[in-house]
Amino acid sequence: MTFTQILKEYDWNEVKNFIHSRTAEDVAAVLNKDIITETDFAVLLSPAAEKFLEPMAKEASRITLQRFGKTIKIYGPIYTSNECTNSCVYCGFNRHNEIPRVTLTDEEVVAEAKTIADMGIQHLLLVTGESPKVVSVSDLARTCDLLRDMFSSLSIEVFPMSTEEYSILRNSGADGLTIYQETYNRETYAKVHPAGRKRDFEWRLETPDRGAEAGYRTVGIGALMGLEDFRTEEFFVGLHARYLMKHYWKTHVTVSFPRIRFAAGNFTPYELIKDKNLVQSMLALRLFLHDAGLVISTREPAEMREHLLPLGVTQMSAGSKTEPGGYNKEHDGKQFKVEDDRSVAEFCAMLRSKGYDPVMKDWDKNFLVRS
């Protein structure tokens, strides 16, 4: 059964009503259980569970410490193009936004990568907009070939591809894939993606499957928090993560919690995600899936990132620039505004001061079999 089929088994509004009508007694009962089922997970996402954030945090912290230790894996993004044919209403790269459009040349990619590597980043995330005419699969493969020897591991966050195309990039050194569904609500998905290739909900929904089938070691998913009722949204994120973990048993699944921040276009979100909403989502997910990697990027402000440390997070970006070429020359073509603008060194020093080991290297490209 594909996740598209699984998703069709659920009625969004029914799930939403279920979550919103739970009581404190329901939550207390779940917190006494050892195994958190799908229904329990929904209970933990309920408004009623907001009064139980402290015991949820204690348990999430205990599980994370046992599974991951006091470590945070550090990664950094490289944006190589902000050209995009999509018109996602929430995104800085929306084709209608008047921002400087930049696609880096190979020389510029290497110069950016060198700056990033010099900052100490060894896990690199390659990001582009969706514009296959400007940045094609073979362009991306060439970029991966340029980057592979400069970093320990290379993940990609680019447009959805076929399994064959993902295999091409894998052969060029990519071993991780990040692809956010943005929203699991079909109607909202259609509304916020009015034009462009991204309109195809199911093609995007099954993208993590194609990456895992192509042998990617890690697959990252998530919803863009704020597009829909976050409680219902995160319920489906959890189901999707669990589905992937069950089906692709050799792939490590990570979940991100991006909140909508200011981006070009001044999009107004469905709801503003409060800090406590983000925390509740993360805690519920950790209690549901003990081993998923949980990712927090520099979208979150410095203070918030520090508070999140003991609550289940396992991976964080640092020193990020979200515009192509931004590490060497900043400009306005950003995907989103970075809220935590500390350097990699400053961020790692903070982690150490709080008793966490910043893990710069957790894989090695030399381990991968080259075809």
Partner 1 sequence: MFSKNLIIDGRTFRSRLMVGTGKFAGSDVMAAAAEASGAEIVTVALRRVDVNNPQDDILNHIDTSKYLLLPNTSGARDAEEAVRLARIARAAGCEPWIKLEVTPDPYYLLPDPIETFKAAEILVKEGFKVLPYINADPVLCKRLEEIGTVTVMPLGAPIGSNKGIKTVDNLRIIIEQAHVPVVVDAGIGAPSHAALAIEMGADAVLVNTAIATAGDPVKMALAFKLAVDAAVTARDAGMPSQKEKAEASSPLTGFLRD
Chain contacts with partner 1 (rule: CB under 8 A) = 65-71, 152, 217, 245, 249-252, 290-291, 352, 355-357, 359, 361-364, 366-369
> Closest separation between CB of residue 212 and partner 1, Å?
12
Task: Kindly tell me which of 33 and 361 has the beta carbon lying closer to partner 1.
Answer: 361
Sequence-distant (≥ 6) Cβ neighbours of residue 158 within 8 angstroms: 126, 127, 128, 130, 135, 140
Which among 260, 212, 271 has a CA at the least distance from the CA of 240?
Answer: 212
Instruction: Report the amino acid identity of residue 201.
Output: F
> Closest separation between CB of residue 216 and partner 1, Å?
12
SS3 of residue 290 by DSSP: coil
Task: Kindly tell me which of 168 and 360 has the beta carbon lying closer to partner 1.
Answer: 360
> Closest separation between CB of residue 329 and partner 1, Å?
30
Task: Kindly tell me which of 172 and 251 has the beta carbon lying closer to partner 1.
Answer: 251
In this structure, the number of other CB atoms found within 10 A of the CB of residue 40 comes to 19
Which residues are paired to 127 by β-bridges?
A: 79, 157
Task: Kindly tell me which of 65 and 190 has the beta carbon lying closer to partner 1.
Answer: 65
> Closest separation between CB of residue 73 and partner 1, Å?
10
For residues 286 and 239, what is the distance between their CA atoms, to the nearest angstrom?
13
For residues 152 and 368, what is the distance between their CA atoms, to the nearest angstrom?
11
Task: Kindly tell me which of 9 and 355 has the beta carbon lying closer to partner 1.
Answer: 355
Dmax (CA) for the chain in angstroms is 61
CB of 343 closer than 8 Å to CB of 302: no
Instruction: Report the amino acid identity of residue 33.
Output: K
Task: Kindly tell me which of 217 and 334 has the beta carbon lying closer to partner 1.
Answer: 217
> Closest separation between CB of residue 217 and partner 1, Å?
8
Q: Which two tokens stand for residue 277?
A: 């909403």
Instruction: Report the amino acid identity of residue 140.
Output: L
> Closest separation between CB of residue 352 and partner 1, Å?
6
Task: Kindly tell me which of 48 and 177 has the beta carbon lying closer to partner 1.
Answer: 177
> Closest separation between CB of residue 198 and partner 1, Å?
29
Sequence-distant (≥ 6) Cβ neighbours of residue 311 within 8 angstroms: 57, 60, 61, 64, 279, 282, 283, 286
SS3 of residue 262 by DSSP: coil
> Closest separation between CB of residue 249 and partner 1, Å?
5
Q: Taking CA 320 as the corner, what is the angle to CA 180 and CA 159, rounded to the nearest 5 degrees? A: 30
Residue that is written with structure tokens 């805690």 in the block: 283
Q: Which two tokens stand for residue 178?
A: 């990040």
Task: Kindly tell me which of 106 and 357 has the beta carbon lying closer to partner 1.
Answer: 357
CB of 295 closer than 8 Å to CB of 74: no
> Closest separation between CB of residue 9 and partner 1, Å?
25
Task: Kindly tell me which of 118 and 202 has the beta carbon lying closer to partner 1.
Answer: 118
